[in-house]
Amino acid sequence: MSEVAQDRTLLIVDDDAPLRNRLARAMEKRNFQVETAESVAAAIESARTSPPAFAVVDLRLEDGNGLDVVEVLHEIRPDARVVMLTGYGNIATAVAAVKRGAVDYLAKPADADDVEAALLAPPGQKPPPPENPMSADRVRWEHIQRVYELCGQNVSETARRLNMHRRTLQRILAKRSPR
């Protein structure tokens, strides 16, 4: 078994605290030793202190670009397996992430099972597609919930940012999550 397969250290870098903490708990349940960072600077410092075998890095961070973290991680530990996460998926950034050393590129909100599958996929292979992917309605609902949380649960501000009528948003928030 390779050194990376035995070493289950994981660095999660995301400036979205609820998502970062939720993913950290889920990955700890999957036997990873998790460290978290909320910025490029904190991630680089953490990587220099104790280089992780695995990393999940958000593309856009408040103090810079997650691609810089990927580059530094691979300078420090070339065998590290990195998955990029982003809510702003496009082909150009996916190509840039892979060129800098990311093994996969997942759109938010990513399921912990998908993250684990991407991290542990054999080198050179992509993980299989998810068995039960989220429906489009569920992805929309998750996005609305995330923006609602980031706006401090302020309905009017959330509606403005989502370019949605406030009453429509209130109806969506009152319903249960779609499957």
Query: pLDDT tens across 93-123, in order?
Result: 667 777 788 888 887 777 888 889 888 887 7
Q: Domain count for the chain, please give it.
A: 2
In percent, the amount of the chain with pLDDT more than 70 equals: 85
Q: Which residues of 86-123 are buried (b: 16+ CB within 10 A; e: fewer)?
A: bbeeeeebbebbeebbbbbbbebbbebebbbbbbebee
Average pLDDT of the chain, as a whole number: 84
Tell me: do 14 and 82 sit in the same domain.
Answer: yes
- Same domain, residue pair 95 and 148: no
Assess whether pLDDT exceeds 50 at residue 2. Answer: no
State the CATH number of the domain containing residue 157: 1.10.10
Do residues 47 and 10 share a domain? yes
Q: What is the pTM of this model?
A: 0.68
Give the pLDDT confidence score for residue 103 in this predicted structure: 84
